[in-house]
Amino acid sequence: MRIIFAGTPEFAVPSLRAAARHNEVVAVYTQPDRPAGRGRGLQASPVKLEAVQRGIPVLQPENFKSAISKDALRALQPDVMIVVAYGLLLPRSVLAIPQYGCWNVHASLLPRWRGAAPIQRAIEAGDDQTGVCLMQMEAGLDTGPVLLEQRTQIGANETGGQLHDRLAELGAQVLADGLGLLRVGLSPMPKPQADEGATYARKLDKAEARLDWSRPAVELERKVRAFNPWPVADAVLGGERVRIFEAVALGDEHAAEDGTIVGAGKLGIDVVCGEGVLRLTRVQRDGGKPVSAAEYLNARRDLLDFFAGRNLFPGEA
């Protein structure tokens, strides 16, 4: 089969490999190179790097508004277009070009978590399970009928990064299954999505990374896991901003004000929350690297002086 693959970040790379395994990928579409790093030099997307390594032609249009961009895609005569975290909306006129339309690999069990950040929002919301869907694309945002899906449990300690990597591989498997059926003339049966139960996974924003100590500890623990490795939850400890990579919710209750440190030692730094206590176990100072709470306290002995129930976070609750 002649396939066009459209994707941009690391999540899409396993799916590109799966698409290329038994099919002819005639072109890869990906976002234009963007400035990145300290030097702000132009950086190619992970999907572009994979395509170049495989010798697949790469196209990087800003959008599909022009007739030229649509004609270029049409000239490739694709049987199907695979879209995985591409980052561009495809107009109806593009969706109609491939013989079998456009398929999307989406990292949630639709209609749960339509939108930009389904992996992190599932952890943040406390979902027990998630998965991947192979969806027949239509004009709406992640509203198309589902062709195939795979479910998986979310681990109790699983981070956004770990779940991202698992779902990237699971998505590639589902895509391979769908393409395998299509090659033998058995196109997967589309199952319409129900609007009931649909939720929207809004894009992650650094501004939401600051922990609000008035919230329950279990909620903050999920946020710490979901936002690891980006944007990474943060807080102010004794006047210093730290990024929090790992934390554990404790059921302990304290009368102290929200945001008060009530324990600090080898096991972590315990902070009072609206409900329960959050134990910070891995943190990072500005300019430093992530370290255990014990290592952090060795460098911040002054913090222990606040230990007797003093509020270290004025104005931060």
Beta-bridge mates of residue 80: 3
Find the CATH number of the domain harbouring 267: 3.10.25.10
Specify whether 171 is located in the same domain as 214: no
pLDDT of residue 306: 56
Residue 316 placed within a domain? no
pLDDT of residue 308: 44
Q: What confidence tens digit (pLDDT) does each residue in 3-47 have?
A: 999 999 999 999 999 999 999 999 999 999 998 877 788 999 999
3-state secondary structure of 42: strand
pLDDT of residue 250: 94
Confidence (pTM):
0.92
- Where does the pLDDT of residue 305 fall: very low under 50, low under 70, confident under 90, or very high at 90 and above? low
pLDDT of residue 223: 98
Considering 160, 177, 201, which residue would you say is the last residue of a domain?
A: 201
Find the CATH number of the domain harbouring 93: 3.40.50.170
Specify whether 15 is located in the same domain as 142: yes
pLDDT of residue 70: 93
Is a pLDDT exceeding 80 seen at residue 177? yes
Considering 145, 170, 201, which residue would you say is the last residue of a domain?
A: 201
Specify whether 84 is located in the same domain as 22: yes
Please tell me whether 49 is known to bind a ligand. Answer: no
Specify whether 74 is located in the same domain as 11: yes
Please tell me whether 186 is known to bind a ligand. Answer: no
DSSP assignment of 153-217 = EPPTT--HHHHHHHHHHHHHHHHHHHHHHHHTT-PPPPBPPPSTT--EEPPP-GGG-B--TTSBH
Specify whether 41 is located in the same domain as 190: yes
Specify whether 65 is located in the same domain as 214: no
Q: Which of 31-35, 171-175, 246-250, 251-255 has the lowest mean pLDDT?
A: 251-255
Specify whether 228 is located in the same domain as 89: no
Give the Å distances, CA to CA, from 84 to 53, 117, 137, 154, 278: 19, 13, 11, 21, 36
Considering 201, 227, 246, which residue would you say is the last residue of a domain?
A: 201
- Where does the pLDDT of residue 253 fall: very low under 50, low under 70, confident under 90, or very high at 90 and above? confident
Residue 15 placed within a domain? yes
Residue 83 placed within a domain? yes
Q: Could you tell me which of 7, 66, 55, 20 has the C-alpha nearest to residue 179?
A: 20
Residue 314 placed within a domain? no
Count the domains in the chain.
Answer: 2
pLDDT of residue 314: 42
Give the integer Cα–Cα distance in Å for 220 and 215.
7
Is a pLDDT exceeding 70 seen at residue 309? no
Specify whether 165 is located in the same domain as 272: no
Please tell me whether 108 is known to bind a ligand. Answer: yes
Residue 317 placed within a domain? no
Residue 277 placed within a domain? yes
What distance lies between CA 138 and its chain's CA centroid?
22
Q: What is the CA radius of gyration of the chain?
A: 23
Average pLDDT on 217-245 reads 95
Residue 142: which domain range? 2-201
Q: CB of 212 within 8 A of CB of 235? A: no
Q: What confidence tens digit (pLDDT) does each residue in 91-131 have?
A: 999 999 999 999 999 999 999 999 999 999 999 999 999 99
Is a pLDDT exceeding 80 seen at residue 313? no
Residue 194 placed within a domain? yes
Please tell me whether 110 is known to bind a ligand. Answer: yes
Specify whether 183 is located in the same domain as 214: no
Specify whether 127 is located in the same domain as 217: no
Residue 315 placed within a domain? no
Specify whether 173 is located in the same domain as 233: no
Q: How many CA atoms lie within 13 A of 278 on its CB side?
A: 32
Specify whether 122 is located in the same domain as 235: no
Phi-psi sector, 315: left (phi>0), alpha (psi -120 to 50), beta: left
